[in-house]
Amino acid sequence: MRQILFEIPIREPWDFGPLGQWPGFGFGLVLLLWSIFGAVSLWRTRRHENGFGSETRAALLWWAGIATAIVLLPNFREPPLPVYGYGVFLVAAAFFSGLTAGTRARLVGVEPAFARDLGMYLVLAGVVGARLFHVAQHHERVFKDCVTPGDYLITLVSLPDGGLTLYGGIIFAGVAYVLLCRRNGIDPLKFGDAVIPAVFVGIAFGRMGCLMNGCCFGDACSLPWAITFPQGSLPWKALVFRGVLLENAPATMPLHPTQIYSAINGLVLAAVTTVYYRYRRGNGGVVGVALMLYAVTRFFIEILRNDEFGQLGTGLTISQLVSLGTFIAGAGLAWWSWTRAEAEVPSSLPESAARPAV
């Protein structure tokens, strides 16, 4: 694991002579890069809308909000600025997921730009949902040291110590996805069948971020590929708290690399849904199969994890309980898609074509 990849000094100024000194390397560089990205993104969005429409205004507000946060950052944090491995992989997840979605959007006649822009909103909704789901599940532990309202607010948005539950992100992003598709006149099931592999690509990169952070760790393992986490890491702290490790232990015992299992699972499911798309029978069929496959694989990976306990007296983790509901929902959607496609065959094809050959 490597929670902090490197640190950036954020207060060293750039000297522009008669123009004075401006915020320089680190803070200034991030603001410069964000400004360039924002200018390109706004230009693309405005060209797509042929004017200053609602999407352009939304993109401008999104850019301005992040730019404001960058400007204010030096006032709230002492230098240097750490760059977290978890955050880097979340950015990579958003980028490669959006790239995949943009490529596959053409299969259903949707502009790649819409798919990429949609990805930005879904990443935001996913992070918010994942954080809220985690906080609701572990509120006593998360807020145990909070006293003032400010403490609660800072703790709510603080992610360096982990604290995102994937299913919460999937639920929030799913709701946002349906609303945004409806708003733009796009069939969410038809479009979802084409771009669902992009979701699994994002999951694969996101789980590698979990490995860098040390969260979502596995149970004890004696296999050759088992991994250990150093003293002071999230797994080490959790195992010491439970009394499994001594406080002077230099590292954890060998553990299942469940983060890597989950990343590989994401890539495999991306490949499976890509292939299955060619054989789908009706809109929503690929999404239904994807939900079932992810629910099954997540259920069994949870068995190898050691960061969660059973809930509601069932012995199943909250993610396993959600997996059961996800599997049922996916099976229902797949069945509905298949039967609907079967029912539409006679009405959409000539009688001779609909009748099987003998």
pLDDT at 202 over 80: yes
Does 46 fall in a domain? yes
Does 261 fall in a domain? no
* pLDDT confidence of residue 17: 67
Please state the domain count of the chain.
1
Q: Give 226's Cβ-side CA count (13 Å radius).
A: 16
* pLDDT confidence of residue 163: 66
Among 268, 240, 272, which Cα is nearest to 253's? Answer: 240
**What is the rounded distance in angstroms from the CA atom of residue 207 to the CA atom of residue 266?**
9
For the chain, what percent of residues have pLDDT higher than 70?
78
pLDDT tens profile 327-337 = 999 999 999 99
pLDDT tens profile 58-102 = 777 777 877 777 776 666 556 667 778 888 898 888 889 888 988
- The mean per-residue pLDDT over the stretch 242-259 comes to 93
Does 203 fall in a domain? no
pLDDT at 177 over 80: yes
Q: Give 267's Cβ-side CA count (13 Å radius).
A: 10
pLDDT at 219 over 80: yes
Query: 10 falls in which pLDDT band (50, 70, 90)?
Result: low
Among 187, 202, 35, which Cα is nearest to 116's? Answer: 202
Does 42 fall in a domain? yes
**Helix (H, G, I), strand (E, B), or coil: what is residue 310?**
coil
Does 66 fall in a domain? yes
Give the H/E segment covering residue 152: helix 149-157
Give the H/E segment covering residue 75: helix 54-76
Q: Which domain holds residue 61?
A: 1-79
Cα distances (angstroms) measured from residue 97 to each of 36, 136, 240, 266, 312: 22, 27, 37, 12, 35
Does 17 fall in a domain? yes
pLDDT at 6 over 80: no
pLDDT tens profile 122-149 = 878 888 887 787 777 766 666 777 777 7
More confident residue, 106 or 23: 106
Name the pTM for this structure. 0.76
Does 49 fall in a domain? yes
Buried b (16+ CB within 10 A) or exposed e, 49-76: eeeeeebbeebbebbeeeeeebeeebee
**What is the rounded distance in angstroms from the CA atom of residue 201 to the CA atom of residue 99?**
10
**Helix (H, G, I), strand (E, B), or coil: what is residue 162?**
coil
Query: 273 falls in which pLDDT band (50, 70, 90)?
Result: very high
Q: Which region among 9-13, 29-33, 272-276 has the lowest average model confidence (pLDDT)?
A: 9-13
* pLDDT confidence of residue 351: 42
Per the CB < 8 A criterion, the answer to whether 58 and 41 are in contact is: no
Average predicted confidence (pLDDT) for the chain: 81
Among 115, 206, 125, 216, which Cα is nearest to 170's? Answer: 125
**What is the rounded distance in angstroms from the CA atom of residue 92 to the CA atom of residue 88?**
6
Does 71 fall in a domain? yes
pLDDT at 352 over 60: no
pLDDT at 225 over 90: yes
**What is the rounded distance in angstroms from the CA atom of residue 272 to the CA atom of residue 278?**
11
**What is the rounded distance in angstroms from the CA atom of residue 185 to the CA atom of residue 202?**
25
Query: 32 falls in which pLDDT band (50, 70, 90)?
Result: confident
